[in-house]
Chains A and B, each alone.
Chain A
Amino acid sequence: MSESATHAAIEAVARNSYGRLVAYLAARSGDVAGAEDALSEAFGAALRRWPEDGVPLKPEAWLLHAARNRLVDAARHAQVRKRTEPLLQLTTDAETVAAMNPTFPDERLKLLFVCAHPAIDIAARTPLMLQTVLGLDAARIASAFLVSPAAMEQRLVRAKTKIRDAGIPFRVPDPPEWDERAAFVLDAIYSAYTAGWGSGAGDGSTHHALVQEAIAIGRTLVQLMPGEPEASGLLALMLHCEARRPARQTHDGTFVPLDRQDPALWSRPMIAEAEKHLRAASAGKRLGRYQLEAAIQSIHAHRAVSGVIDWREIALLYEGLIRLAPTIGAQVGRAVALAESGDLPAGLAALEAMPAARIANYQPWWAARGHVLRRIGRQGEARTAFERAASLTDDPALRTYLLEQAVR
């Protein structure tokens, strides 16, 4: 077999099965870093052997076999008895798996719960997921999270050491623990998505790649948590937002607010996929934050069909969101929806009721205030609010847009 064909085969296995291989090995050894190292050595062995021997019939089983040999060797070398025992068990498991199944057990859900364990530093959870489940390298993750590769590497190493040494178990929690723990997993995925957000991120940029990775984990999660409506809700939310990527900026980089976007530029297939997941979620009859946020985006998406935005409905959904978690974002969202639905005084009152300390540096609050004041006719104050909003964003396109609003 040619070398390039072998490389292509290895890349395909890495792309499709990396997370499953890491999860399978780590779930049995309790050691994520050890599993990754063993697997990378196994891939190295494949690069040497497959061009001569041909790609094995079951490439994943071959890699597992090679990786667990490394793990057992490493454990024997360290003479850590306790760790060797489960690994010897792993040896038999891997043989059985290789002999009997076309595929091997999917332990990625356990791995996701480990990555988003409350005992793990919250700043490490998302990077840990991206690295272990998707195989992203630390340097790429670092650039998406705006930290140095060395700092990110250190954060990841620390988290993996803690998983091993503090004995964080590879298990799927049962109710009532499930709700809280599943929320940590969802939040970590959403934070990968928001880290990739930002209108300056064009196709092919690191940030855009991160958005796609977040959606990929979201799709996996829906398969792994079929009974969890919030997993479907989160995926629907990400897909709805991603569907609008082409409309968020004009070709010259000018920011376009959501209600001015040209729906013809929105991705119809992505909206359809989002709606499918949102419907599946509502069948679960258990409302949650992500379903509500996805439902709000769904109403915006409906403008493509109806030509109008049902702001009253949006205000109601934000109210539900505030009842679940009174975040500053949800409160601003509700105020804007009230104003847009025609009740300008109520919108302004809702904005002004928010504590000054919380909104002082919150750009969306100042932008919302600017819009509402301008529509009421208080031009001078609107201008000040837009200028303040512009000073609080790090997004150049948005800053330009807000400064334009200030002088309108």
Chain B
Amino acid sequence: MKYILLVHLPKETLEAPKNPDAAAAGRAYGEALHAAGIFVAGVGLGPPENATTVSLRDGKRQVQDGPYAESKEFLGGFVVIDVPNLDAALEWAARNPAAAVGTVEVHPLGGSYFAAAK
């Protein structure tokens, strides 16, 4: 089964100086995902200030600076993994170094209209 791990980080982590240990931990986690043969996709996202939100209301495109909601946390990245069940997905979510500072939301991937359209 495929799961997406959505990494939410507290805003404070943006202001903190770059930590070489954190970068090393992130790389090691990525390598472990590959070594386990479960990595499907994944990236870290830039700071939320660089994000732009788009919606279409009454046929009118609305473009807004930043993520749609003011919140203390922001979406910092995601990983898609292919593992046998939720327990295995939770295990990998807990291993994500970001879990120690933020939260990792685990979703089973539903059917995709995009994949069906290829």
Task: Assess whether B37 is interfacial by the CB under 8 Å rule.
Answer: no
A24 to chain B, nearest CB (A): 18
Instruction: Flag the segment in A70-78, A164-172, A267-275, A322-330 that touches B.
Output: A164-172
Is A119 close to B, CB under 8 A?
yes
Within 8 Å of chain A (Cβ to Cβ): is B84?
yes
Q: Choose from A117, A166, A173 the contact partner of B108 (Cβ within 8 Å).
A: A166
Asked whether A167 lies within 8 Å of B108 as measured between CB atoms, the reply is yes
Distance in angstroms from A384 CB to nearest chain B CB is 43
- List residues of B (82-118) whose CB comes within 8 Å of A's CBs: 84-90, 108, 110
- A85 to chain B minimum Cβ distance, whole angstroms, is 14
A168 to B3 alpha-carbon distance, docked (Å):
12
- Known pairs A167-B1, A167-B85, A168-B85; A119 contacts B108 (CB<8 A): no
Bound-state CA distance A171–B84 (Å) is 12
Q: Is the CB of A166 within 8 A of B87?
A: no
* Alpha-carbon distance A167/B89, docked complex (angstroms): 10
Complex Cα distance, B88 from A390, in Å, reads 49
Which parts of A141-192 form the interface with B (CB within 8 Å)?
165-169, 171, 173
Residues of A within 8 A of B88 (CB): 169
B15 to chain A, nearest CB (A): 32
Scan A90-128; emit 1 where CB is below 8 A from any B CB, else 0.
000000000000000000000000000101000000000
A165:B90 contact, CB within 8 angstroms: no
Least CB distance, B12 to chain A, in whole angstroms = 27
Category for how many chain A residues contact B: under 10
A-B contact count (CB 8 A): 25
B90 pairs with A119, CB closer than 8 A: yes
Contact check, A165 vs B108: say whether CB atoms are below 8 A apart: yes
Q: Which chain A residue lies CB-closest to B2?
A: A167
Query: Residue on B with the closest CB to A181?
Result: B87
Contact A171 B87 (CB under 8 A): yes
Q: Do residues B108 and A169 form an inter-chain contact, with CB atoms below 8 A?
A: no
A169 with B90: CB separation less than 8 A = no
Q: Which residues of B contact A167 (CB under 8 A)?
A: 1, 3, 84-86, 89, 108
Min C-beta distance of A82 to chain B, whole Å: 9
- Chain B residue with minimal CB distance to A177? B87
Residues of A contacting B1 in the complex (Cβ-Cβ under 8 angstroms): 167
Considering only CB atoms, which chain B residue lies closest to A118 in the complex? B90
Residue of B nearest to A169 (CB): B85
Instruction: Give the docked Cα–Cα distance between A354 and B110 (Å).
Output: 49
CB of A182 to closest CB in B, whole Å: 15
Whole-angstrom CA separation of A169 from B83 in the bound complex: 11
Q: Which of A310-361 contact B (CB under 8 A)?
A: none
Cα separation A165 to B110 with both chains bound (whole Å): 8
Nearest chain B CB to A31's CB is how many angstroms away?
A: 13
Give the CA-CA distance A171 to B87 in the complex, in Å: 9
Mark each residue of chain A from 231 to 269: 1 if its CB lies under 8 Å from any CB of chain B, else 0: 000000000000000000000000000000000000000
Cα A122 to Cα B86 with chains together (Å): 17
* Residues of chain A with a CB closer than 8 A to B84's CB: 167, 169
CB-CB < 8 A to A171: which residues of B? 85, 87
Cα A169 to Cα B110 with chains together (Å):
17
> Inside 8 A of B85's CB, which chain A residues have their CB?
167-169, 171
Q: How far is the CB of A62 from chain B (nearest CB, A)?
A: 31
Q: Smallest CB–CB gap between B47 and chain A, Å?
A: 31
**Nearest Cβ on chain B to A158's Cβ, whole angstroms:** 15
Q: Return the chain B residue nearest A173 by Cβ.
A: B87
Could you say which of A117, A167, A169, A171 has the most chain B C-beta atoms within 10 Å of its C-beta?
A167
Q: Which residues of A contact B (CB under 8 A)?
A: 117, 119, 165-169, 171, 173
User: Contact residues of B with A, CB < 8 Å?
Assistant: 1, 3, 84-90, 108, 110
- 23 A-B residue pairings within 8 Å (CB atoms): A117-B86, A119-B86, A119-B90, A165-B108, A165-B110, A166-B86, A166-B108, A167-B1, A167-B3, A167-B84, A167-B85, A167-B86, A167-B89, A167-B108, A168-B85, A168-B87, A169-B84, A169-B85, A169-B86, A169-B87, A169-B88, A171-B85, A171-B87
Query: Given A165-B108, A166-B108, 4 more contacts at CB 8 Å?
Result: A119-B90, A167-B1, A167-B89, A173-B87
8 tightest A-B CB contacts, nearest first: A169-B85, A167-B1, A167-B85, A167-B86, A166-B108, A168-B86, A166-B86, A169-B87
